[in-house]
């Protein structure tokens, strides 16, 4: 009798778990979160609505990313539905190597720019291993739109093959939408390409949140880029006391001129926003 009672309770809990996941999938008004992870001198941004998990970049540390994901991924949903790797620099991809080996990953999106570094070779091996487990490799194309759960992804760059390009110029630029909310991410994209996209896209760049390019370097975050994006918040992902001097004072002055709220991982740690589909709320620095 005792065994039957607890079997029933356990079965009921499993059923309720499936119901909760189903409701998350069907009802985007439950809200979502985006957390810009304090990953050191690199980028990693996690989007989650409890059902769908998207990661943009993997940061420079294998152990640090796993630690952060263990903290921020939903307890009963440890998969990554979409992993985006903006470009093949170490500070954006190294953490993804262990991620691909230890977390279920459904789709990997990266450009065709290549690197002769050991970490890039290790990444390619990890991607091949993930593909053998069912992961699907995607290549971005400007103008491409697709949905992952309740998130809509719009690709703004690249618009051509990046094999012969400099690594930073190849950075995958995305707008990720949750309802009417949007977040603009651009890796280490330099000002020259920012200005081209600002001319091409104009007000279509408008976003609630912008991740500053190249960790706040003076080589990114042009006036035209920020002007057309016109965000409420700019997040700068940089390591505390980094040797590059990121973020650069020139970048900070541009953001100050536009009177934009600036949040920095080197000062505030993990930076979390709540997305309702209508409004964006800065929830916490963790």
Q: What is the pLDDT of residues 123-140, one digit of tens each?
A: 999 999 999 999 999 999
pLDDT in tens, 173-220: 999 999 999 999 999 999 999 999 999 999 999 999 999 999 999 999
How many structural domains is the chain composed of?
A: 2
Note the pLDDT of residue 245.
95
Do 20 and 160 lie in one domain? The reply is no
In this prediction the pTM is 0.89
Q: What is the mean pLDDT of residues 255-274?
A: 96
d(CA 238, CA 43): 8
Q: Which CATH number do you get for residue 63?
A: 3.60.15.10
Note the pLDDT of residue 62.
82
d(CA 37, CA 188): 16
Do 110 and 237 lie in one domain? The reply is yes
Note the pLDDT of residue 152.
98
Asked whether residue 6 carries a pLDDT value surpassing 80, the answer given is no
Residue 95, Ramachandran bin (φ over 0: left; ψ between -120 and 50: alpha; else beta): alpha
d(CA 82, CA 56): 8
Would you state the structure tokens that stand for residue 209, as one six-digit string? 């949140």
Would you state the structure tokens that stand for residue 236, as one six-digit string? 């700068």
3-state helix, strand, coil in the chain (%, to 5): 40, 25, 35
Q: What DSSP character marks residue 58?
A: -
Closest residue by Cα to residue 97 from 67, 69, 133, 61: 61
Note the pLDDT of residue 16.
54
Do 74 and 200 lie in one domain? The reply is yes
Tell me the pLDDT band of 63, cut-offs 50, 70 and 90: confident
Would you state the structure tokens that stand for residue 51, as one six-digit string? 């059902």
Do 148 and 266 lie in one domain? The reply is yes
Do 17 and 45 lie in one domain? The reply is no
- Its domain, for residue 40, covers 31-285
Q: In the chain, how long is the greatest CA-to-CA distance?
A: 72
pLDDT in tens, 112-124: 999 999 999 999 9
Do 202 and 105 lie in one domain? The reply is yes
Tell me the pLDDT band of 23, cut-offs 50, 70 and 90: very low
Do 141 and 58 lie in one domain? The reply is yes
Do 88 and 134 lie in one domain? The reply is yes
Do 172 and 231 lie in one domain? The reply is yes
Do 152 and 247 lie in one domain? The reply is yes
Do 255 and 174 lie in one domain? The reply is yes
How many other CB atoms are there within 10 angstroms of residue 82's CB atom? 23
Would you state the structure tokens that stand for residue 104, as one six-digit string? 């279920």
d(CA 80, CA 269): 22
Do 21 and 39 lie in one domain? The reply is no
């Amino acid at each position: 009798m005792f065994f039957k009672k607890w079997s029933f309770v356990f079965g009921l809990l499993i059923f309720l778990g499936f119901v909760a996941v189903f409701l998350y999938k069907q009802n985007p008004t439950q809200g979502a979160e985006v957390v810009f992870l304090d990953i050191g001198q690199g980028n990693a941004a996690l989007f989650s609505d409890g059902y769908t998990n998207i990661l943009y970049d993997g940061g420079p540390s294998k152990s640090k990313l796993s630690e952060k994901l263990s903290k921020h991924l939903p307890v009963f949903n440890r998969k990554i539905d979409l992993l985006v790797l903006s470009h093949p620099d170490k500070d954006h991809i190294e953490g993804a190597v262990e991620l691909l080996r230890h977390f279920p990953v459904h789709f990997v999106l990266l450009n065709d720019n290549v690197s002769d570094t050991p970490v890039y070779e290790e990444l390619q091996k990890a991607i091949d291993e993930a593909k053998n487990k069912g992961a699907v490799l995607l290549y971005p194309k400007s103008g491409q739109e697709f949905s992952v759960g309740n998130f809509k992804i719009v690709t703004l760059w690249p618009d051509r093959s990046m094999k012969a390009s400099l690594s930073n110029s190849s950075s995958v630029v995305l707008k990720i939408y949750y309802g009417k909310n949007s977040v603009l991410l651009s890796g280490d994209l330099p000002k020259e390409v920012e200005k081209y996209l600002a001319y091409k896209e104009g007000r279509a760049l408008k976003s609630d949140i912008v991740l500053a390019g190249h960790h706040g370097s003076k080589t990114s975050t042009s006036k035209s880029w920020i002007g057309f994006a016109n965000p409420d918040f700019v997040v700068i992902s940089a390591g505390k006391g980094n040797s590059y001097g990121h973020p650069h004072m020139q970048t900070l002055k541009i953001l100050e001129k536009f009177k934009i709220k600036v949040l920095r991982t080197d000062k505030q740690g993990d930076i979390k926003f709540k997305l309702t589909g209508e409004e964006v709320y800065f929830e916490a620095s963790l």
